[in-house]
Amino acid sequence: MPTDSLYFDRDGEPIDLDRFVELSSDEEYRRLKTDQREELTVATVWMGLDQGLFADAEGPQIFGTAIYDNDARDLWNGFERFAATEEEAYANHAAALEVVATR
């Protein structure tokens, strides 16, 4: 169902700004999974703000997975993926771990 909301909880339900701020301050709620492999970290988090506003994506893209270079404290090779559901987010995390393992 289309919505004008920019903010969504982990279930993909629209929320208002006050609830977004509340959930954003809860690190356990935000963090899905983090893995460190040598000098790289793979992190998957709930962002709550639709990252797919200007993309041709199905559903609000409210989860993000990224590979970070621990030394540079920046994205590794620009790797960043977005997802609409936790299931997709965990799949992105597994794919990122595979990318790190085969680099």
Q: How do residues 6-26 score in pLDDT, each as one tens digit? A: 899 999 999 999 999 999 999
Expressed as residue numbers, the domain containing 47 is: 17-101
Give domain status of residue 29, yes or no: yes
Long-range contacts of 36-41 (CB under 8 A, 24+ apart): 36/70, 37/97, 37/100, 37/101, 39/69, 39/70, 39/71, 40/67, 40/68, 40/69, 40/70, 40/76, 40/100, 41/67, 41/68, 41/70
87-100 per-position pLDDT tens digit = 999 999 999 999 99
Domain count, the chain: 1
